[in-house]
Amino acid sequence: MVDLSQQVIADYEAGHRNIPVYTLARMAEVLGMDVGELQEDKQPDQRKRGPSPMVQRQLEKIQSLPKEKQKFVLQALDMVLKTA
């Protein structure tokens, strides 16, 4: 078994700490894997956070409006969201 704390392993996974070569070799041995397999980036595709492109365009249009019209649009949006 590899004698590592959960925090150390989490740091390795997050890239906050480099894995010493001897530790990487031992981990591969314990897991029955090749060292190369451990180094492959097999993270699932993570969706980009933030608004969708359509919502982003709409927000940009709202920002380009005069302040009074922005206020009107935001009040209308607040009313719709309260009833949702």
Please, what is the average pLDDT of the chain?
A: 82
Q: Which residue has the tokens 């078994």?
A: 1
Nearest CA-CA partner of 25 in 15, 14, 13, 37:
37
Tell me, yes or no, whether 1 lies in a domain.
no
Q: For residue 4, is pLDDT > 70?
A: yes
What DSSP character marks residue 61?
Answer: H
Q: Rounded to whole angstroms, how far apart are CA atoms 2 and 24?
A: 10
What pLDDT shows up at residue 36?
A: 83
Angstrom CA distances, 81 to 43, 57, 73, stand at 35, 19, 12
Tell me, yes or no, whether 46 lies in a domain.
no
Tell me, yes or no, whether 47 lies in a domain.
no
Tell me, yes or no, whether 64 lies in a domain.
yes
Average pLDDT (8-25) is: 85
Domain that holds residue 13: 6-39
Q: For residue 46, is pLDDT > 70?
A: no
Specify the number of domains making up the chain. 2
Tell me, yes or no, whether 31 lies in a domain.
yes
Q: Rounded to whole angstroms, how far apart are CA atoms 32 and 28?
A: 6
